[in-house]
Amino acid sequence: MTYERENIANMHGYIPGEQPDSPDIIKLNTNENPYSAPDPVIETLRHITGEMLRKYPPPTANDFRQVAAQTHEVASDNIIPTNAGDELLRLAITTFVEPGATIAVAEPSYSLYPVLAAAHGAGVLEIQRNDDWSLPRNLAQQISDGGAQLTLIVNPNAPTGTLTSVADLKELAEAIPGVLLIDEAYVDFVDPDQGYDAIQLIGDHPNVLILRTLSKGYSLAGLRFGYGIGHADLISPMLTKTRDSYNTDLVSQKIATAALTHRPFAQKTWEAVRQERDRMVRELHAFGILTTDSHANFVLATIPGDFAGGAANLYQTLKQRGIFVRYFDLDRLGDKLRITIGTPDQNTALLNALKELAT
């Protein structure tokens, strides 16, 4: 006897990356920022009083909305704060997809999408990226033919790290019938020299919704805070109807507001990660391990079959040595490892282990 709805009984849940507790583990498996949030952000916690927690928090986190609006040079009406990026994804599906309808996903991508779709009773149109992980030319046609009401594109993509241009996203937004959610969980690690800025699309494209999170760029994965950026007409139904009554708590609102206010601290970590990313790519290539052209805080590395027994074995061997990376036993990814960029010391430890295993 089960009380679950049929689609819930039939679905599988999301499987998160391993979260080992030991401080000795070199954790390069879940794309956290390797540097802690700065003191002025953590200091915020000290100013939280019992009296502040006695009351409900500001329902729509308006202080945060204002700081985010200033940061991105948009209006507060263009921002919806959420319980991290994952809540925005759920809200987008709840708000823009009829149960029984379809979402479109460019694969490989974030494995939570099909889980959220299944819980909602929506189907998933999986469209494979090209061999170089770029978006297929006929993507918009496939989405239109499949009648998808919401299309999810991770940019830079996970787990490949590759970046789609704003021009291509604009073309896609104009060609598809439904909402285009650009999941920018990793966008902070894109080199500013790329000139990438998809937020400029929201003014003229009322179907573009951008996901941002403080989990990666701002070193606050434990906090659970993110936000959506979009046309006010797109944000409004989520803000006024489908969101939980107090979807972000007071403590996270305060810390998140401080994090954006002190953005230059985070920006320094983004640059440090980019430098280490370049080094890792160079050093991995020297082992014959090729990587994608990553614009995120991880690289997707193809492990030759004769290197330490290939990707799956190397993942296990590294784990036994206390170095966690991510292995996906999936189509197109079975010979690859996703390696989060860590501190210089952590990265060197991984490279030293590879050196030993290579000989």
User: Residue 25 in 3-state DSSP?
Assistant: coil
**DSSP code at position 167:** H
Stretch near ligand PLP under the rule CB under 6 A, chosen from 39-47, 80-88, 163-171, 234-242: 80-88
Contact with ligand PLP (CB under 6 A): which of 33, 120, 163, 183? Answer: 183
Q: Is residue 276 involved in binding ligand PLP (CB under 6 A)?
A: no
* Cβ–Cβ < 8 Å for 269, 344: no
Nearest approach, Cβ of 213 to ligand PLP (angstroms)?
Answer: 3
Q: Which is nearer to ligand PLP, 117 or 154 (CB)?
A: 154
Contact with ligand PLP (CB under 6 A): which of 84, 103, 140, 209? Answer: 84
Closest to 26 in 3D by CA, of 357, 354, 309, 335? 354
d(CA 258, CA 240): 25
Q: How many binding residues for ligand PLP (CB under 6 A)?
A: 13
Contact with ligand PLP (CB under 6 A): which of 143, 185, 301, 314? Answer: 185
Stretch near ligand PLP under the rule CB under 6 A, chosen from 81-89, 168-176, 246-254, 308-316: 81-89
Nearest approach, Cβ of 6 to ligand PLP (angstroms)?
Answer: 27
d(CA 72, CA 54): 32
Closest to 297 in 3D by CA, of 319, 315, 280, 318? 280
Judged by CB under 6 A, the chain residues 188 through 247 that form the site for ligand PLP are 213, 215, 221, 226
* Cβ–Cβ < 8 Å for 186, 299: no
Q: Is residue 105 involved in binding ligand PLP (CB under 6 A)?
A: no
Contact with ligand PLP (CB under 6 A): which of 85, 108, 114, 217? Answer: 85
Nearest approach, Cβ of 88 to ligand PLP (angstroms)?
Answer: 8
Q: Which is nearer to ligand PLP, 81 or 85 (CB)?
A: 85
CA 187, 94, 4: angle at the middle one, nearest 5? Answer: 120
Stretch near ligand PLP under the rule CB under 6 A, chosen from 83-91, 303-311, 318-326, 332-340: 83-91
User: What separation in angstroms does the CA of 268 have from each of 237, 258, 263, 265?
Assistant: 36, 16, 9, 5
d(CA 46, CA 48): 6
* Cβ–Cβ < 8 Å for 255, 226: no
Nearest approach, Cβ of 305 to ligand PLP (angstroms)?
Answer: 28
Q: Which two tokens stand for residue 359?
A: 């000989």
Binding site for ligand PLP (CB under 6 A): 31, 84-86, 110, 154, 158, 183, 185, 213, 215, 221, 226
